[in-house]
């Protein structure tokens, strides 16, 4: 069982803010869903082989980059060829 504090912690970890209404709702929904996920507890086996395929490479060849103005075209804030982001602490 997880409680509202756990959900608040998960929200922080996921960098989303949840309202107190959402918090209540999510807590009960997550408990139902996580309980359902517990069906995985009975799964046996240790191998975790993702795929039998491997080694897909490209050669070390230079291809065109996007022109600076195209790269920046979707940005809402830019300055002298840079993207502008909020300050970091």
Partner 1 sequence: MTKITHFNPEDKFHAFLKTCGDTEYTTGPLNGENIAIKDNISTKGIETTCGSRILTGYIPPYDAHVITLLKKAGAAIVGKTNMDEFGMGTTTENSAFGPTLNPSNPDHVPGGSSGGSAAAVAAGIVPFALGSDTGGSIRCPASFCGITGLKPSYGRVSRYGLIAYANSLEQIGPMAKDVKSVSRLMEIITEYDPRDPTMINKPYHCRCDGELNGISVGVPEEFFGKGVDPSVASVVWNAIKWFEGEGAEIITCRMPSVEYALAAYYVTCTCEASSNLARFDGVRYGPGASLKLSWHDSFSERRTEGFGTEVKRRIMLGTFALSSGYYGKYYAKAQIARENVKNDCMRIFKDVDLIIGPTMPVVAFKLGEISDPLQMYLTDILTVPANLAGLPAISIPCGKVDGLPVGLQIIGKPFEDERVVETAYCYEQGG
Partner 2 sequence: MSRGGKLVNMIIGLEVHCQLDTKSKLFCGCSTDYRDDGPNTHSCPICSGLPGSLPSINKKAVEYAIRVAKSLKCEICEESEFSRKNYFYPDLPKGFQITQYDHPLALKGILTIDDDEGLEKIVRITRIHLEEDPGRLVHKGGVDRPKYTLVDYNRSGIPLIEIVTEPDLRSPQEARRYLQKLRATLEYLSVFDSEKEGSLRVDANISIEGSERVEVKNITSYKGVEKALTFEYTRQKNALRRGQKIIRETRHFVEGRGVTTSSRSKEMEQDYRYFPEPDLLPLRVKEWSEKISLPELPDARRERFIEQYSCSPIHAKTLTGDLKVAEFYEKVAKINPVLCATWVADTLLGELYYRNMSVQAVPHERFIELIAILDAGKITEKSAVEVLRNLLDQIKDSGICESPNECIVRLNLGKTGGDAITKAVGEVISEQKTAIKDLKNGKKGAMNFLVGQVMKKIRGRGDPQEINLLLEQALSPGDE
Which residues bind to partner 1, rule: CB under 8 A? 7, 10-11, 13-18, 22, 26, 29-30, 32-33, 36-50, 53, 56, 58, 66, 70-71, 73-77, 83-89
Contact 72, 83 (CB under 8 A): yes
- Residue 47 binds: one of partner 1, partner 2, none (C-beta under 5 to 8 A by kind): partner 1
- Give the span between the Cα atoms of 14 and 36, in whole angstroms: 22
41 binds partner 2 (CB under 8 A): no
Specify the 3-state DSSP secondary structure of 79: strand
72 binds partner 2 (CB under 8 A): yes
């Amino acid at each position: 069982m997880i409680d509202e504090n756990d959900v608040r912690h998960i929200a922080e970890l996921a960098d989303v803010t949840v309202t107190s209404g959402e918090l209540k709702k999510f807590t009960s929904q997550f408990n139902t869903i996580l309980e359902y996920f517990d069906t995985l507890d009975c799964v046996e086996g240790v191998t975790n082989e993702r795929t039998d395929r491997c080694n897909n490479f490209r050669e070390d060849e230079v291809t065109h980059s996007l022109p600076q103005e195209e790269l920046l075209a979707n940005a809402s804030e830019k300055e002298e060829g840079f993207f502008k982001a909020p300050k970091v602490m």
